[in-house]
Amino acid sequence: MKKINSVLLIDDDKATNFITKMIIKKAAITDHIEIVLNGQEALDYLKNSGKFEKNDGIFPQPMLIFLDINMPVMDGWEFAEVFDTLTPDQKGDAKVIMLTSSLNPDDKERALKLPAITDFQSKILTTEALQIILDQYFKE
């Protein structure tokens, strides 16, 4: 499996972020995992990706984004709508996976109708689910 340059986690739940980050690290698919707590922080990150120095280099353009639905400031639905309006340089080739605890089938249906959303996964991300995502969207 080839490495991807960066993964962006968009979720206000610190425990979920911790677990997701550990699963991604264990899979060794990237050297850079960025965590933001809401959609607005994610948009700010994406608008600056590839441009500015950040501690150890630039803000790497994420190839994989895990997006929660329910967050303060800007939720996953609002983020998905604005994501579609970003420039190709800001979006890159990112695959946006909605990662949510919602069991509502309407949420899945709504998510998969949005152009920004590539796939829909239930929390908590598992090693197996991550492998399926990688096999499906990041084959060499």
Q: Give the pLDDT band (50/70/90) at residue 83.
A: very high
Q: In the β-sheet with 64-67, what is the strand arrangement from edge to edge?
A: 33-36, 7-10, 64-67, 95-100, 117-122
* CATH number of residue 85's parent domain: 3.40.50.2300
Q: How far apart are CA 15 and CA 68, in angstroms?
A: 13
Please report the pLDDT score of residue 1 as a whole number.
57
61: in domain: yes
Q: How far apart are CA 11 and CA 124, in angstroms?
A: 12
2: in domain: no
1: in domain: no
pTM to 2 decimal places: 0.91
Please give the tally of structural domains in the chain.
1
Which domain covers residue 36, as residue numbers? 7-137
Per residue in 11-29, pLDDT (tens digit) is 999 999 999 999 999 999 9
54: in domain: yes
Please report the pLDDT score of residue 49 as a whole number.
72
114: in domain: yes
